[in-house]
């Protein structure tokens, strides 16, 4: 929908509002935003506001300014308040204006279908060779392998877009031409920027090649994961704990089907644990990082995310873990790729 579909002049009447709501893109916009002669947004008005005004005795030619809501919900451009966004979703508001400090309209944010907006830049790592999946990856980069007729990386791009992230970068190396061609056109109006490594820089080293940052927080993830992680909850958790870096983690159970000896320093058996179950959290390859910390990543050098995590810990930075509650599959081996096909088909069918 165009921005003009959501706007009405402060000179309009109730009848003008009802006509516009009725005609706008199939009637999907049930709310309009009132602008003054200087294009400042001064209020909102919905079809419900109009009906209630008519019931109170107002006429169809009553000015929109007499019935609009001057205390309307909006987002400040460049200063997203994640708590307000959470409140918008709880109130089930569908369309919310994002406005400049002078009240002019920047955008209409769409909160339908579970969409959200978080102030982060996104980087998807897509430079690896996917050796464990050969021969599938001999001629096709792993992120472009199809899962249920859709490239693996596109599931992650769609999920990023769902949370309103509009600065999306993909770092490429192996068979980079195919990925660059794949993203040569915008996806749902969003352009994906491909950043080519001169040499393989590990799982996080290529961040130093990017300069088009918009926000103070960076979402970094492997592009070949199959997951429905809730990025809003991930970000809220990150901010709540005032972390320098947050590492998404998946539960991993180890069941040992034998009795395990408990041994002291002199190798004496002091007890037996019968068929113990050990519970761990594994690195999911998804991170939130304060942008100011990128200076700790060396320039033009191989550097893995695990190296970066350990470096931050040595510097007494606050590194926390965020447990993923949805699904997460690392498509590493041929059997993983086979199993995820049926899993994806079932998800799309439901």
Q: What is the per-residue pLDDT across 134-154, written as a single tens digit (0 to 9) for each?
A: 998 999 999 999 998 899 999
Here the tokens at position 223 are: 């592009």
Mean pLDDT confidence for 240-265:
91
CATH number at residue 82: 3.10.580.10
Per-residue pLDDT, 349:
63
Running DSSP on this structure, what letter comes out for residue 72? -
Per-residue pLDDT tens digits for 287-297: 999 999 999 99
68: pLDDT confidence band, cut at 50, 70 and 90? very high
Average pLDDT over residues 195-216: 94
- Domain span at residue 74 reads 3-114
Whether residues 168 and 304 share a domain: the answer is yes
- Total number of domains in the chain: 2
Report which secondary-structure segment, H or E, holds 335: helix 334-349
Average of per-residue pLDDT across 91-96: 88
Q: Are residues 128 and 103 in the same domain?
A: no
Q: Give the residues across from 124 on adjacent strands.
A: 170, 221
Q: Is this structure's pTM higher than 0.75?
A: yes
Q: Let me know whether 145 and 103 are in one domain.
A: no
Q: Is the dihedral of CA 42, 45, 50, 51 positive or negative?
A: negative
Same-domain check for residues 250 and 101: no
Q: Give the CATH number of the domain where residue 265 resides.
A: 3.90.550.10
Domain check: are 43 and 153 in the same one?
no
**Residue 53 exposed, middle or buried by CB count within 10 Å (0-12, 13-18, 19+):** buried
**Mean pLDDT in the chain?**
91
Q: How many CA atoms lie within 13 A of 119 on its CB side?
A: 17
- Write down the pLDDT at residue 103: 94
Instruction: Report the sign of the C-alpha dihedral through residues 285, 290, 291, 293, in that order.
Output: negative
pLDDT grade for 176, boundaries at 50, 70 and 90: very high
Rounded to an integer, what distance in angstroms lies between the CA atom of residue 224 and that of residue 126? 7
Residues 188 and 284 grouped into a single domain: yes
**Whether residue 278 is found in the same domain as residue 315:** yes
User: How much of the chain exceeds pLDDT 90, in percent?
Assistant: 66
Q: Is pLDDT above 70 for 301?
A: yes
């Amino acid at each position: 929908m165009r921005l003009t579909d959501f706007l009405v002049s402060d000179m309009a009447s109730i009848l003008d509002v009802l006509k516009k709501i009725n005609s706008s893109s199939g009637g999907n916009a049930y709310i309009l935003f009132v602008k003054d002669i200087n294009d400042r947004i001064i209020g909102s008005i919905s079809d419900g506001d109009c009906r209630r005004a008519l019931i109170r005795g107002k006429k169809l030619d009553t000015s929109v300014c007499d019935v609009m809501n001057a205390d309307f919900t909006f987002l400040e451009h460049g200063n997203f308040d994640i708590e307000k966004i959470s409140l918008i979703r709880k109130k089930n508001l569908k369309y919310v204006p994002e406005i400049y400090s002078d009240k002019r309209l920047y955008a209409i944010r769409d909160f339908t279908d579970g969409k959200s907006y978080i102030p982060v830049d996104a980087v998807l790592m897509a430079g690896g060779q996917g050796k464990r999946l050969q021969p599938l990856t001999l001629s096709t980069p792993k992120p472009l392998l199809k899962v249920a007729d859709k490239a693996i990386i596109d599931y992650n791009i769609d999920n990023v877009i769902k949370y309103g992230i509009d600065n999306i970068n993909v770092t490429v190396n192996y068979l980079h031409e195919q990925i660059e061609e794949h993203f040569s056109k915008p996806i749902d109006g969003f352009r994906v920027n491909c950043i080519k490594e001169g040499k393989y820089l590990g799982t996080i080293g290529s961040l130093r090649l990017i300069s088009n940052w918009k926000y103070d927080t960076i979402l970094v993830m492997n592009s070949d994961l199959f997951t429905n992680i809730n990025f809003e909850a991930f970000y809220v958790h990150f901010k709540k704990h005032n972390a320098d870096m947050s590492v998404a983690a998946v539960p991993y159970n180890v069941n040992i089907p034998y009795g395990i000896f408990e041994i002291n320093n002199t190798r004496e058996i002091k007890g037996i644990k019968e068929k113990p179950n050990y519970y761990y959290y594994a690195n999911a390859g998804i991170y939130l990082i304060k942008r100011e910390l990128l200076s700790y990543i060396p320039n033009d050098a191989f550097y893995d995310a695990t190296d970066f995590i350990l470096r931050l810990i040595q510097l007494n930075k606050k590194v926390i873990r965020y447990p993923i509650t949805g699904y997460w599959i690392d498509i590493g081996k041929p059997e993983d790729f086979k199993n995820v096909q049926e899993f994806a088909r079932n998800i799309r069918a439901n």
